[in-house]
């Protein structure tokens, strides 16, 4: 079936569910009117459905390949990327001074969802490029900005993020890549990086690598790491790709999914680089890029979930087994629950993006704190929903879902990486209960106050729904206060279920808002979520309260199946 971008669903959330109107009312984003927003969403929807979606299956069947040290992209990817670049979609939220459009991140994330649903493997390229643009805007010298940002915004060049090494995955501080100062002010970078998304490509004329490395006098751990711009081709005096840098693509990873996205093992052999930001403070620059990518990855989960669900609904509406299976109670349960979760995850991601826009437009600490708090929730819940709904899609197809011919399995294979990269969902949860509660729970309590106030406002027309949301909000407040009383190791033992509980309560909140503002169909969908999905928060919190004691009591031997001791 053909993917149809959910333009109307996104527009409804922006206009009726989250605080996007507040973004539009700021001076910075005054041009992002309803008409402009509607037009951009419509055009992005056409690009996603008509240009990118046809590439999804072919990219899976004919992966990117390495030939004579050069990556060759999947059929049609160069043309698909060109359409993205020519439409100005990469620089949608970037600084107009360097060729960007300066539009809200909320709108950018809405477009990213549609592109992800159409062809995740290709959308990964602009996602990483946009993250690099973000890092350069905030941390790079004026010379680097002037040279790289216009090329990245236009799509002439693409960007990557180089963190992971064979011995340093999530423990970035253990990296061994070296940087040495050169007399001309540049640096020489030597080391190997793995899992580099779109680390090489023939869809752009240059690939720009943001590489973490340690200088000789850099302290151990993350505090001694610096960030460098290391391009595939060294720019000449006119800023065009010149001689090749000392960079080699060692191999491409053979992955479970996203086959059209070349995931490279990169070798830097005294490659020339330029410092981004300050020496020994590379993690601050990289985190700017990673935070942008984390929300983007959550949105990717939503996009894949939407595409998988569309295919499952279409199949269920055609498959006849004692009547159309879409009318079977259990199939209807799967589809309705999946649709409710997609709505909730989409609303959480767009609310997070809206908070980022408000922080940019106003500089207010309250908006910055909200964006920071919502980011790990958006990333983890969005990607978990992506996997869960893709898995449901396979189940709805029955035996045919397990057959590659239908394409249902591809969504599950593609989505499965999203809870892992840009910080696993476990890391997101630890960030939530650690750093994000370090403000004494202020950001969390502000969100919970809104949930409770909204539930009270809905008490008349939707009493049965509002009462359950209000009670969940109160329980979540108590659980948050209890979490803050624990030390960090105890918090970490219950971090993932705590995050999921908070996500489910937030999802119920946005569904209730939709029920108050939307049609009878929105009320029906809210009833599905609040009746069938929200109650799971209670079991999540029961697990979160369990802490570490029983986890540490079981031995490594018992985990391996040896119960002799």
Residue 334 pLDDT more than 80?
yes
pLDDT for 90 equals: 98
Mean pLDDT within 441-445: 98
Percent of the chain at pLDDT exceeding 70:
99
Residue 167 pLDDT more than 80?
no
Confidence (pTM):
0.97
Average pLDDT, the chain: 96
Residues 6 or more apart in contact with residue 307 via CB below 8 angstroms: 3, 56, 117, 118, 411
pLDDT for 46 equals: 98
Local structure of 162: helix, strand or coil? strand
Local structure of 250: helix, strand or coil? strand
Where would I find the beta strands (DSSP E) of 182-300? 187-197, 206-214, 225-231, 233-235, 241-244, 247-252, 263-276
pLDDT for 285 equals: 82
Can you list the alpha helix ranges (DSSP code H) found in 95-215? 105-139, 142-154
Q: What CA–CA distance (Å, rounded) separates 78 from 204?
A: 8
Query: Which residues are marked as active site?
Result: 422
What kind and span of H or E run contains 72? strand 70-72
Do residues 356 and 313 touch, judged by C-beta distance below 8 A? no
Q: Residue 91: pLDDT band by 50, 70, 90 thresholds?
A: very high
Q: Give me the residues paired with residue 208 across strands.
A: 159, 231
Q: Residue 1: pLDDT band by 50, 70, 90 thresholds?
A: low
Q: What CA–CA distance (Å, rounded) separates 156 from 203?
A: 9
Local structure of 307: helix, strand or coil? helix
Residue 33 pLDDT more than 90?
yes
Q: Exposed, middle or buried, 395 (CB in 10 Å: 0-12/13-18/19+)?
A: middle
Look at the block and give the residue holding tokens 């309803």. Answer: 34
Q: What CA–CA distance (Å, rounded) separates 289 from 420?
A: 17
Look at the block and give the residue holding tokens 């946005």. Answer: 510
pLDDT for 196 equals: 96
pLDDT for 512 equals: 98
**Cα-based distances in Å from 377 to 381, 430, 538:** 6, 11, 17
Do residues 136 and 148 touch, judged by C-beta distance below 8 A? yes
Q: Tens digits of per-residue pLDDT, 347-397?
A: 999 999 999 999 999 999 999 999 999 999 999 999 999 999 999 999 999
Residue 169 pLDDT more than 70?
no
CA-based Rg of the chain, rounded to a whole angstrom? 23
């Amino acid at each position: 079936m053909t993917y149809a971008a959910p333009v109307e669903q996104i527009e409804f959330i922006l206009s009726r569910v989250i605080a996007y109107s507040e973004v539009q009312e700021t001076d910075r984003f005054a041009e992002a009117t309803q008409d402009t927003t509607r037009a951009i969403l419509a055009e992005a929807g056409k690009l996603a459905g008509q240009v990118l979606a046809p590439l999804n299956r072919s990219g899976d069947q004919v992966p990117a390949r390495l030939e004579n040290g050069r990556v060759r992209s999947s059929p049609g990817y160069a043309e698909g990327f060109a359409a993205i670049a020519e439409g100005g979609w990469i620089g949608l939220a970037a600084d107009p001074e360097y060729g960007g459009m300066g539009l809200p991140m909320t709108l950018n994330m809405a477009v990213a969802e549609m592109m992800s649903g159409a062809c995740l493997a290709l959308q990964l390229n602009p996602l990483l490029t946009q993250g690099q643009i973000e890092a350069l805007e905030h941390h790079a010298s004026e010379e680097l900005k002037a040279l790289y940002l216009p090329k990245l915004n236009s799509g002439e060049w693409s960007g990557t993020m180089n963190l992971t090494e064979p011995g340093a995955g999530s423990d970035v501080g253990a990296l061994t890549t070296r940087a040495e100062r050169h007399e001309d002010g540049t640096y020489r970078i030597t080391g190997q990086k793995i899992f580099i998304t779109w680390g090489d490509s023939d869809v752009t004329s240059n690939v720009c690598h943001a590489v973490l490395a340690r200088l000789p006098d850099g302290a151990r751990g993350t505090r001694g790491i610096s960030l460098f711009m290391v391009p595939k081709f060294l720019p000449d005096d006119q800023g065009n790709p010149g001689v090749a840098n000392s960079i080699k693509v060692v191999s491409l990873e053979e992955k479970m999914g996203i086959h059209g996205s070349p995931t490279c093992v990169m070798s830097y052999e005294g490659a020339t680089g330029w410092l981004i930001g300050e020496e020994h403070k590379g993690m601050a620059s990289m985190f700017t890029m990673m935070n942008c990518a984390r929300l983007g990855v959550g949105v990717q989960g939503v996009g894949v979930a939407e595409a998988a669900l569309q295919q499952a609904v279409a199949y269920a509406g055609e498959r006849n087994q004692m009547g159309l299976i879409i009318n079977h109670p259990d199939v209807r349960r799967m589809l309705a629950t999946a649709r409710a979760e997609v709505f909730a995850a989409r609303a959480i991601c767009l609310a997070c993006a809206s908070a980022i826009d408000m922080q940019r437009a106003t500089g207010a600490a309250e908006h910055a704190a909200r964006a920071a708090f919502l980011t790990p929730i958006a990333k983890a819940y969005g990607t978990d929903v992506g996997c869960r709904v893709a898995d449901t899609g396979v189940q709805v197809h029955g035996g045919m879902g397990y057959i590659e011919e239908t394409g249902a399995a591809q969504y599950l294979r593609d989505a499965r990486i999203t809870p892992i990269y840009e910080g696993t969902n476990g890391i997101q949860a630890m960030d939530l209960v650690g750093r994000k509660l370090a403000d004494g729970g202020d950001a969390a309590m502000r969100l919970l106050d809104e949930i409770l106030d909204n539930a009270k406002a809905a008490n008349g027309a939707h009493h049965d729904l509002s009462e359950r949301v209000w009670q969940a909000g109160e329980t979540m407040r108590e659980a948050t206060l209890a979490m803050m009383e624990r030390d960090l190791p105890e918090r970490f033992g219950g971090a993932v279920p705590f995050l999921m509980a908070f996500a489910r309560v937030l999802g119920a909140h946005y569904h209730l808002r939709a029920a108050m503002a939307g049609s009878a169909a929105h009320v029906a969908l809210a009833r599905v979520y609040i009746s069938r999905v929200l109650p799971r928060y209670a079991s999540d919190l029961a697990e979160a309260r369990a802490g570490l004691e029983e986890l540490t009591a079981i031995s490594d031997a018992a985990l391996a199946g040896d119960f002799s001791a």
